[in-house]
Amino acid sequence: MEKNAIYIPRVVPRRIREKYAVQAPQLVTKEEYLASGHRFCIGCGEALAVRLACKALGRNSIIVSPTGCTEISTSLIPYTSWCLPWIHTLFENSAAVASGVEAGLKVMMRKGKRPAQDIDVIVMAGDGGTCDIGLQALSGALERGHNFLYICFDNEAYMNTGIQRSSATPFGASTTTSPAGKVSIGQVTWKKNMPAIVAAHDIPYVATASPSYPFDLMDKVAKGVATKGPAYIHILSVCPTGWRSATDLTVRIGSLAVETGIFPLYEIENGKYKLSLDLPQRRPVIDYLKLQGRLRHLSEETVKQIQQRVDKEYAKLMEKVA
């Protein structure tokens, strides 16, 4: 954060926030980098997360997006919602494009072809563009050690193309290509653990976040861009359209994902796991499942199965944190 000191601090650091009793909204920059008038759906968690992330990033950023909801909702010739420099090319190559942007900037500044400037390179991608079709490009970019931040906005399916399943779709969810039917519960595989896969690349910073916890999200984004080398943030983004949930419950459902332990918030700094939010007691997963049309069909038996899996995964995480 210090490195962009000419700008007003985008997010007041936690250590300062904790000392003063001020209203939360006053601590965030008023500057908007995602202009209103975009075409995200009402109640879209991804829109909220992108907006918050941009506030934490500030102006000296270049954004790379793959094809997906964010891309389609923010750009349409001749309009744009982006107040930051932004590039979209294809669906599966954002990490590679970002590699070129980062390497290009660095070498041009070194050769005096561009003025020396501190510019952050950030990918903003969906779960499909990250965990499935873009996984290879992401792995390559992480391994090569480019100095960039990759943010995955995980809405747990290919939403842009009409709610098809991805490897990030949770067990039991009904999507258009993993539909619940007479002989199927819907998605029959467990959600891919993308943060763990990224962490296995031994990069300096990995985190999970949720727009239901805006300060935590912005802290992590600020930390991510300040990291030297690759950083990755996995943001669970509630999608009322795809999850068939009420548009006014987006923030609530995002919190429930955390409170049930389904989507715990944590950081992995240089290999060290740290919980961002302690949960003395987790809520039962049914509190989360029952608010979503995609999961409401699940039998008691299946819900139990999910509860057991969440308990097990959470315990595994606790071991790493300890």
Q: Residues interacting with other proteins, by CB under 8 A? A: 59-62, 64, 71-72, 75-80, 82-90, 92-93, 95-108, 110-111, 113-114, 117, 119, 136-137, 139-140, 143-144
Ramachandran quadrant class, 162 (left: phi over 0; alpha: psi -120 to 50; beta: rest): left
Among 4, 67, 155, 260, binds Mg ion (CB under 5 A): 155
The b-or-e profile of 296-315 (16+ CB within 10 A means b, else e) is: eebeeebbeebbebbeebbe
Planar angle of CA 284, 287, 290, nearest 5 degrees: 130
Among 127, 132, 219, 259, binds Mg ion (CB under 5 A): 127
Q: Rank residues 85 and 271 by Cβ distance to other proteins and give the closer one.
A: 85
**What's the Rg (C-alpha) of the chain?**
19
Binding site for ligand SF4 (CB under 6 A): 40-41, 44, 46, 69, 73, 155, 159, 239-242
Binding site for ligand TPP (CB under 6 A): 46, 67-70, 91-92, 126-129, 155, 158-161, 166
Q: Does 237 sit near Mg ion (CB under 5 A)?
A: no
Q: Does 126 sit near Mg ion (CB under 5 A)?
A: yes
140 binds, among other proteins, ligand SF4, Mg ion, none (CB under 5 to 8 A by kind): other proteins
Instruction: Name residues contacting Mg ion, limited to 35-54 (CB under 5 A).
Output: none
Q: Rank residues 33 and 171 by Cβ distance to other proteins and give the closer one.
A: 33
Q: Which residue is nearest to ligand TPP (CB)?
A: 126
- For residue 229, the minimal CB distance to ligand SF4 (Å) is 29
- For residue 117, the minimal CB distance to other proteins (Å) is 7
Question: Which run of H or E residues covers position 109?
Answer: helix 94-110
Alpha carbons 212 and 203: distance in angstroms, whole number: 26
Q: Rank residues 11 and 152 by Cβ distance to ligand TPP and give the closer one.
A: 152
Q: Largest Cα–Cα distance of the chain, in whole Å?
A: 65
- Long-range pairs, 223-228, Cβ under 8 A, ≥24: 223/267, 224/149, 224/151, 225/56, 225/57, 225/61, 225/120, 225/122, 225/149, 226/1, 226/3, 227/149, 228/147, 228/204
- For residue 85, the minimal CB distance to Mg ion (Å) is 24
Q: Does 94 sit near Mg ion (CB under 5 A)?
A: no
Q: Rank residues 136 and 308 by Cβ distance to other proteins and give the closer one.
A: 136
- For residue 156, the minimal CB distance to Mg ion (Å) is 7
DSSP secondary structure string for all residues of 264-316 = --EEEETTEEEESS--SSPPPTHHHHTT-TTTTT--HHHHHHHHHHHHHHHHH
> Site residues (CB under 5 A) for Mg ion?
126-127, 155, 159
